[in-house]
A and B are shown apart, each in its own frame.
Chain A
Amino acid sequence: MLGVGLLVLVPALGLAAFAIDPPADPFGGPPPALLDLLAAPGIGGLVGGTLALGVGVAVGSIVMGGLLAFAAERLDFAGRRWLAVATVLPLALPSYIIAGAAARSLSRGGFIGDLLDLHRFGGVPAAVAVLTVATAPYVQLVVRSALARSGGAAEEAARTLGASPWRAFRCGTLPTLRPALAYGGLVALLYAASDFGAVAVLDAPVLTWRLFEAVTHQDLARATLFALLLLAVVGPLYAATRVLRGGEQHRSVANPRAASRRRPGWLLGGATALAAVLQLGLGLVIPVVAQTLWVVEGLRRELDFAPLWEPVLHSTAAAAVAAVVTAGLALGPAWGAGHRRGPWRALGEQVAYLPSAVPGVLVAFGLLLSGLAVTRGLGHAEWYAPLLGSGVLLVAGWSLRFLAEAFGPLRASALQVDPRLWSAARVLGGYPRRYLRGVVAPALAPGAGAAVLVAFVAVLKELPVTLVLGSATGLRPLPYRIWDRYSEALWHDAGLAGLVLVAVALVAVSLTLREPVH
């Protein structure tokens, strides 16, 4: 576990090394002071853009997700079960695919843009819309489970005392939902401030996107500044989510009686319908229809399609390796969190959750800097390129990002192993190896399988780490192909690769949605 903990620190140390000793811009003269860079015009705007994006998405997803969760739990209408599942599906789609499809379809020349005479879908407002749709499912899931737990007793009591339905909900149920809404909103805020894909495709002037641009221009000093600012924005947000999460757990009621459902009035019905149309339209219909149209257009105009087997093969091989490594790394913290007490348990959780909460582009950049710092420190700057090309940093980046995904199922399995079994085995003269093989391994196997699968799908869709740390390896996986084709306006090719990715993602998420909502 300590080893994994140290690995988590690597990107942070790389960043710290460069913050203390800023690198010279190789083509720009002496090393610039971070404070001078900070004072440059435009920096405040980037921080403001990031915060505006985050707050906009948080508010949007609380409204959308809250409304849809309420509809799924408390309203009675035809197709509500179906709607509850379908509106969560955008969760599976990478934000760059939703953004790319929306940017093309909702601008002039796109199938909806021409219909409604829209001009251009881009910038921060567009990113708010796309990321709201991408994060509303989180809020929806969290609020739904809170609604299910809170039950209908307080509300019914209020109704018997003569309160209107709205007043009964406001006084009886809403207070119990507040922690869930706040937690969901914060997660959405953190997600939006960390997002890379949507803001890159929509060219929103925010920190993550400018950080990536600075890295591609090899302007490492400026990139370091953006990374520190980004850390200053997401750090407190992350801390807040941890605090709120702790508070939320104590509010559950054992075996609450389910609240009765009612037919929605026109106002509530209309608002729910609007939220559902937005959520499904932008999050699911537009991506699938737009990409299909691109492919059809490519076929109709007899354009060349680059062979798809190469990115599929690269993606599958790389994601398989990274998924196994990720699950292996998550095992220690998961065991610690499941079996140790006190600080070890807390450490296990922190080790798993922290790197997954940090923006991917920041993790990638931190690893890049550590690679540079270490090779330079050893006096062999020429080792840096082979290190980057070897893919070690790439796999480390993916694993750090998705440690939390693999951690969840592994911890659940680790809890299955009763520590008293080991005492019993020892009393009976069992060998540790036999105990591991006969008791621990079978108990962990299902969790490990789930962890590998979840990490596999996550790596398959990952963009920023893939771009920053992957390009030197020669790997050209699906997200890389889609990104490359977007930037070259070869929509038909991007559409084909995108449809493959969307299909895999939807199958994977529908497997996990079969589990009951926690």
Chain B
Amino acid sequence: MRIFVLPLFALVSACDRDTVTSEQPVQPVAETAPTVTIYSGRGESLVGPLLSKIEADTGVKVAVQYGGTAEMATRLLAEGDASPADVFLAQDPGHLGALAKREVLAPLSDDLLAQVAPAYRDDGGRWIGTSGRLRVLVLHSGRVPEAERPTSLEDLTDPKWKGRLGWAPGNGSFQSHVSALRSVWGEDRTRTWLQGVAANAPAVYPKNSPQVEAAGSGAIDIGWVNHYYLYKFDHVALGVGNHSFEAGDAGNLMMVSGAGVRAGSPNAEAAEKVVAYLVSEAAQNYFAKEAKEYPTRPGIPTHPDVPPISPEELVVVSQDALADVAATRKMLQELGLQ
């Protein structure tokens, strides 16, 4: 896994390699089989167990390099044709879209694309959604009684929330959602809304999880997060739960994580096999059961803890709109939020 480790750190990496190999099932593979290199912008703790099953289930050997989604996308772009990557697995649709637009990703086959709903894939067919993450409010059920709960994302500008909110403007999911708002509401309304929420002096967190914890401990009453962070905690004991808005509200955004094949990959065929595996029933069940995310393949049930959500309840946004990260970041910088 760690190909580029300095010999000086041989001791360390040797130990790592031992653990990794011992977890992998021994499987005879044809000697000619190419190794598919995956650049993963999703964390090792989350997708590692799934990716280590690819070889056993499909016969394709994989090597994975982990990093941030932005970091991996930039690397792909910088390396160009010389990139060792065959598959790019991203946390958010923003960078997938940006790479698709620059044709760094190759078109996927129609058979493969047809396996997920049209809303969960690139309009141009260069990447496919592997799982969905729902944007929600996490709130303390005691301190935010039923009657007081916001029915729309826009309610968060109400002064009654002053000092009670939390958010994470540096986080990728946050920025993707603001990109969606810019597309649905337009620039001015989005800017006014951000200013309105900022006027309520929300506590700033680096990521989603601390907001769930903070809602539980009492530091905030409401956080703005992705749905699955709730389940990382003993949420019943903390007294916190997820909250979605009324049907069609811009707050009900489903963000997909996805994968694509690098254009010019010498292992394109095997690479597409790997991407196909990620939307296979086995992998989709893994995303639903282990990661508690929303499967993108129709007919796969969500985890019992995760309430299903129908497409009518979600806001409709083109995946292209989510790719416009640069303009979103500029807006956040101008507002002093980042």
Give chain A interface residues in 185-240, CB to chain B under 8 Å: 203, 205, 210, 213, 216-219, 222
Q: A392-B6, A489-B210 are in contact. Are A472 and B203 (CB under 8 A)?
A: no
Q: Given A45-B336, A317-B11, are A391 and B214 neighbors across the interface (CB < 8 Å)? A: no
Q: Which candidate, B70-78, B189-197, B258-266, is the interface stretch facing chain A?
A: B70-78
Nearest CB to that of A473 among chain B residues? B5
Cβ contacts under 8 Å, B213 to chain A: 489, 491
A379 to chain B, nearest CB (A): 10
A389 lies within 8 A of B4 (CB) = yes
The complex places the Cα of A392 from the Cα of B8 at a distance, in Å, of: 10
- B334/A41 in contact, CB under 8 A: yes
Nearest B residue (CB) for A119: B163
Shortest distance between the CB of B335 and any CB in chain A (Å): 8
**Number of residues from A at the complex interface, CB < 8 A:** 56
How far apart are the CA atoms of A218 and B334 in the complex, in Å?
A: 18
Asked if A116 lies at the interface with its beta carbon under 8 angstroms from chain B, I say no
Docked CA distance A216–B163 (Å) = 28
Q: Mark B46-83, 1 if CB is under 8 A from A, else 0.
A: 00000000000000000000011011011101111011
CB-nearest residue of chain B relative to A301? Answer: B234
1/0 contact trace for A271-301 toward B, CB 8 Å? Answer: 0000000000000000000000000000001
Chain A residue nearest to B15 in the complex (CB): A313
Interface: A501 (CB within 8 A): no
Give the CA-CA distance A290 to B233 in the complex, in Å: 20
Inter-chain contact A473/B77, CB cutoff 8 Å = no
A488–B336 alpha-carbon span in the complex (Å): 24
Q: Which residues from 7 to 21 on chain B have a C-beta closer than 8 Å to any C-beta of chain A?
A: 8-9, 11-13, 15-16
Are the C-beta atoms of A473 and B209 separated by less than 8 Å?
no
User: Which residues in window 370-395 of A have CB below 8 A to B?
Assistant: 380-382, 384-386, 388-392, 395
Bound-state Cα–Cα, A317 to B8, Å: 9
B29 at the interface (CB under 8 A from A): no
Report if A28 contacts B (CB, 8 A): yes
**Chain B binding surface, main DSSP class:** helix
Q: Quick check: is B24 within 8 A (CB to CB) of the other chain?
A: no
B207 within 8 A of A: yes
Q: How large is the interface on B (under 10, 10 to 19, 20 to 34, 35 or more residues)?
A: 35 or more
* Chain A residues whose C-beta falls within 8 Å of the C-beta of B326 in the assembled complex: 25, 27-29
A318 close to B (CB within 8 Å): yes
Q: A478: shortest Cβ distance to chain B, in Å?
A: 13
> What are the residues of chain A within 8 A of B8 when measuring CB–CB?
321, 391, 395
**B4 with A203: CB separation less than 8 A:** no
Query: What is the 8 Å Cβ interface bit string for chain A, positions 38-57, against chain B (1 contact, 0 not)?
Result: 00111001000000000000
Q: Name the CB-closest residue of A to B172.
A: A217
With CB as the reference atom, state the residue of chain B lying closest to A472.
B67
Most A C-beta atoms less than 10 A away, residue of B213, B237, B335: B213
Please tell me if the beta carbons of B334 and A40 are within 8 angstroms of each other in the complex: yes
Measured CA separation A25–B328 after assembly (Å): 14
Contacts of A486 in B (CB 8 A): 206, 210
The interface residues of chain A lying within 8 Å CB-to-CB of B13 are 474
- The reply to whether the CB of B275 lies closer than 8 angstroms to some CB of chain A is no
The smallest beta-carbon distance between A125 and chain B, in angstroms, is 14
5 residue pairs of the A-B complex, CB under 8 angstroms, read A109-B218, A317-B11, A381-B82, A472-B4, A488-B207
